[in-house]
Amino acid sequence: MTEQNRAPLPHDFHPEVPSFSVTSEDLSPGGDLGDAQVLSGGNLSPQLRWEGFPEGTKSFAVTCFDPDAPTGSGFWHWVLFDLPVSVTELPAGAGSGKFESLPAGAVHARNDYGTKDFGGAAPPAGERHRYVFTVYAVDQEKLGPDSDASPAAVGFHLRFHTLARAQLIGEYASPEG
């Protein structure tokens, strides 16, 4: 997929909001995802840490979206919300397995794999895709949807309740078939 054929980023269609900072020990901006974040590898959510979010933030949401998936609508790899405002870091694997590192009350909605967790990168053979990890500062403690909500429904709520957002984009190229 050439740069000119790449899909727009998900926030290109949302209202502008302030940004804040998100960093990761597992991802560098524009760098390649490690084997740990690949579906056929470790299939683990990356470590994420954020700061500089606005006053009035009452909770956070974290998503991972592949805008380059050959679906016409992208592919949601991770949809997590209702993280308490006191949580400003998720360790690697927090969105995977038994969720022991997630605080009580955090909600995983189903991803496009149909599971309620982090699903790693798995582009078609020979394709390089972007993975947009976004942390949203939310103006309510509870966003509203439950774990059966689609990623689109969660995104709808986030559109109206996001105070600011931070994003980190990694890439992954699947080996040739």
Positive or negative torsion for Cα 69, 73, 78, 83: positive
Mean pLDDT of the chain: 93
pLDDT score recorded for residue 97: 84
Read off the pLDDT of residues 54-110 as tens digits, 9 standing for 90 and up. 999 999 999 999 999 999 899 999 999 999 999 999 999 999 988 888 999 999 999
Q: Are 76 and 111 spatial neighbours (Cβ–Cβ below 8 Å)?
A: yes
In order of their start, the domains of the chain are 27-173 (3.90.280.10)
Could you write out the DSSP letters of every residue in the chain?
--GGGPPPPGGGGSPP--B-EEE-SS--TT-BPPGGGBTTTT--PPPEEEE-PPTT--EEEEEEEETTSTTTT-EEEEEEEEEETT--EE-TTTTSTT-TTSPTT-EEPP-TTSSSS---B-PPTT-EEEEEEEEEEESSSS-S--TT--HHHHHHHHHHHEEEEEEEEEEEEPPP-
pLDDT at position 177: 59
User: What is the pTM for the complete model shown?
Assistant: 0.95
Question: Model confidence over 101-140: pLDDT tens digits?
Answer: 899 999 999 999 999 999 999 999 999 999 999 999 999 9
